[in-house]
Structure 1
Amino acid sequence: MIDSQLPLSLLAAVLAALLSAVLILLTRPLLLRHALANPNARSSHRIPTPQGAGIGVIAATLIVAGAVIILAGAKDASIPIAVFAATLFIAAVGLADDVRYIPVLPRLVLQGLAVAAVIFAAPNDLRIIPACPLWIERVLSLLAGLWFVNLVNFMDGLDLMTVAEAVPITAAVVLLGWLGGAATSTTIVAAALCGAMLGFAPFNRPVAKIFLGDVGSLPIGLLLGWLLLQLAWHQQFAAALLLPLYYLADATATLFRRLVRREPFWAAHRTHYYQRATDNGFTVWRVVGEVFALNLVLAALAVASTRMQQVSLQVMLLALGGIAVALVMRRFSQQRTSSK
């Protein structure tokens, strides 16, 4: 398994990185004219900046992943057609929202259709909790997937933040594939997305020359959610929770806090922990660096959890991950004292 997946994954990552960078270079002049992101209450940038680099990232991911999966020709390397189609659809929704605003409710309905296509196209024997009725599990998975897609979008509010999240998650899935814990097609898609994000990173480093836009953050959320769902369907629950734990904790805690305060949770804001960190004196590089380091720790815990049979040990690793996330969020929420 390692021998067959290693060269394919490396090939997918390298090709996707190169294609992503080329497509971003080619599309940026057009996006400068038609898709500028103006600063608002949520923004960390101060000048209008083009958005839409997700076009290059997603195109590179799907083109390269599809080509390498076909090249693989293995029994477990069939192209997940529903996932690719849903990714293109939700990317189109995101692009429309980038160029011309789509109201909240229609946007959620369209996103829900994309998530539903991924969830309900899966074979009935792929189950998270076999004792639970299938329709209940699929509906709950739909709601969770819709939330995950949106939280990735919510958290894409700082230069390199989505890179710091997506690269460790996808790299961990690739590693699990090499260890025999993921199908070839899953591993290749993860490798392609990882490479495409690395190709995007130089353009998004502070101060960013271009943003992903909803055309990038929404389909990236869908693809990451599908990868995590693959782990859950194969009974790797701890890994599926550990890998996105910082995003889950920050976005969910922020949502509940805004609901308790009766704030319009759908409106732009700067109350995520990573945003509060920049307001509290942390540089952008410091914030994304700490998030990236935290995600590497979570990825290591996730991979370790798949090698353990005892549920108690997996719970212990989850607890360790939760403590690490809580410490970083607490640190971000406090004013940074300057050292002299």
Structure 2
Amino acid sequence: MQPDLSHAGTASDAFICVLIGVCVSAAILWALLKTGLAWRLATDIPNDRSLHTRPTPRVGGWGVLPALALAIFLYAPNFRLIALGALLLGVISQIDDRRGLPARVRFGAHVVVVAAGIALSVVGIAWWMAVLAAFALVWVVNLYNFMDGSDGLAGGMTVFGFGFYAVAAAVLQPTLTVAAAAVAGAGFGFLIFNHHPAKIFLGDAGSIPLGFLAGALGFWGWQHGVWPIWFPAGVFAPFVADATMTLARRLARGEKVWVAHREHYYQRLVRLTESHVHVAVAYYLLMLGSGCVALLALRVPPTVQWTLFGAWYVVLALVGWQIDRCWRQFILTQGNDIDAN
């Protein structure tokens, strides 16, 4: 996909896309809640693995996807096909939310859309790098879904992550800035209803497409020289580190990673602090730090870039180690009255 110089994108376009994203997303979600349709479309019923205690609609995607798609189709035509792929994933995920789909069907859809996204964005890399990129993007697609369990968390990551994408692309690829701004705006419209106490969650129809967009726009930016290959993983570092480490530990224990659990660091923090607000603020600070470090690293030589990138992940590892230490102490003090997971 080559840049469309006939519609280069401007700061005003990006601002308009933010407004479209916020207003359209918030209006749709308000209407779904006001009419009660949100509960009929898809509702998350609390269980022993949940962090919330009351049934909550998980239809955030119904507001986020139309909002970002409208803004991208109007102001960032280069990314219409990528937005279309996100919409397709949203439809498949909504069917899964309502009726349930076999894992092979869901995973197959993820692979097909990711492969199409890579084909649309690739400029010139070896086939094996394209395969590795596909694996990484499929992981990111599902990563977002794993992190949609605490009030304000996934919505905040959308605003911060895509917001930093927009800032980083402003000079070299303004149309990418416009597309990222559209997603950030739609995420903010959702966050209005997702902050504590959450009135709505993303659900698969929102988290799966957002994960795809995080990976697809990040890959496009790398292929078109907007940022180095590490940049997307730097911007979304808190989500990448939390989900990846949790998955690795469960795989090492031979557990079924697709089964619901409460082992993510954010889940343990909520249980330790008994506060969704405190956890959201902590992750917002980590997200802000991740984005600032990533932007700073763009201004230094490549060797220093990788050093800063690695150092930030070391910081996140230390944060995770501290959470694990506090969690073990918590388990010891609670004895057999609490499930270690």
* 2:121–2:220 CA contact under 8 A, matched in 1: no
CA distance, structure 1, for counterparts of residue 38 and residue 322 of structure 2:
36
TM-superposed deviation, 1:9: 1.0
Q: Which aligned segments of 4 or more residues in structure 1 are displaced greater than 6 angstroms?
A: none
Bigger shift: 11-20 or 313-322?
A: 313-322
Write out aligned runs for 1:17-96 (5 A). Answer: 17-28=22-33, 29-69=36-76, 78-96=77-95
TM-superposed deviation, 1:282: 4.8
Deviations 1:242-300 (A, max 9, x none): 11112111111111111111111110000011111112235111111111111111101
* 2:25–2:63 CA contact under 8 A, matched in 1: yes
| Counterpart residue type for residue 32 of structure 2 | T
* TM-score when normalising by structure 1: 0.88
CA distance, structure 2, for counterparts of residue 147 and residue 297 of structure 1:
23
* 1:42–1:157 CA contact under 8 A, matched in 2: no
Name the structure 1 match of 2:319: 328
Name the structure 1 match of 2:270: 278
Name the structure 2 match of 1:74: none
Matching residue within 121, 132, 146 for 2:138 = 146
TM-superposed deviation, 1:41: 4.3
CA distance, structure 2, for counterparts of residue 13 and residue 321 of structure 1:
29
CA distance, structure 1, for counterparts of residue 255 and residue 239 of structure 2:
21
Bigger shift: 233-242 or 289-298?
A: 233-242
Q: Secondary structure at the match of 1:237?
A: coil
Aligned residues: 319
CA distance, structure 2, for counterparts of residue 192 and residue 42 of structure 1:
33
Name the structure 2 match of 1:103: 102
CA distance, structure 1, for counterparts of residue 163 and residue 182 of structure 2:
10
In structure 1, stretches of 5+ residues that fail to align are 70-77
TM-superposed deviation, 1:22: 0.3
Matching residue within 219, 222, 238 for 2:209 = 219
| Counterpart residue type for residue 277 of structure 2 | W
In structure 2, stretches of 5+ residues that fail to align are 331-341
Name the structure 2 match of 1:311: 302
| Counterpart residue type for residue 176 of structure 2 | T
RMSD over aligned Cα atoms = 2.1
Q: Secondary structure at the match of 2:326?
A: coil
Deviations 1:212-240 (A, max 9, x none): 11110000111111121123222512322
CA distance, structure 1, for counterparts of residue 252 and residue 121 of structure 2:
36
Is 1:199 the counterpart of 2:198 in the alignment?
no
* 2:234–2:291 CA contact under 8 A, matched in 1: yes
CA distance, structure 2, for counterparts of residue 20 and residue 34 of structure 1:
16
TM-superposed deviation, 1:42: 3.6
Q: Secondary structure at the match of 1:333?
A: helix
Q: Secondary structure at the match of 1:143?
A: helix
TM-superposed deviation, 1:323: 2.6
TM-superposed deviation, 1:19: 0.9
CA distance, structure 1, for counterparts of residue 121 and residue 311 of structure 2:
32
| Counterpart residue type for residue 63 of structure 2 | G
Matching residue within 207, 228, 237 for 2:218 = 228
Name the structure 2 match of 1:289: 281
Write out aligned runs for 1:172-191 (5 A). Answer: 172-178=164-170, 180-181=171-172, 183-191=173-181
CA distance, structure 2, for counterparts of residue 17 and residue 140 of structure 1:
34
| Counterpart residue type for residue 199 of structure 2 | K
* TM-score when normalising by structure 2: 0.88
TM-superposed deviation, 1:50: 1.0
* 2:148–2:154 CA contact under 8 A, matched in 1: yes
CA distance, structure 2, for counterparts of residue 65 and residue 197 of structure 1:
14
| Counterpart residue type for residue 58 of structure 1 | L
Q: 1:41 to 1:140 in 2, by over 3 A?
A: farther
TM-superposed deviation, 1:33: 2.2
Is 1:251 the counterpart of 2:250 in the alignment?
no
Bigger shift: 143-152 or 30-39?
A: 30-39
* 1:35–1:50 CA contact under 8 A, matched in 2: yes
Matching residue within 178, 184, 198 for 1:208 = 198
CA distance, structure 1, for counterparts of residue 46 and residue 102 of structure 2:
19
Q: 1:207 to 1:334 in 2, by over 3 A?
A: farther
**Identical columns (%):** 30
Is 1:7 the counterpart of 2:12 in the alignment?
yes
TM-superposed deviation, 1:112: 1.2
CA distance, structure 2, for counterparts of residue 322 and residue 99 of structure 1:
38
TM-superposed deviation, 1:187: 0.9
CA distance, structure 1, for counterparts of residue 64 and residue 84 of structure 2:
16
Q: 1:198 to 1:81 in 2, by over 3 A?
A: closer
* 1:167–1:198 CA contact under 8 A, matched in 2: yes
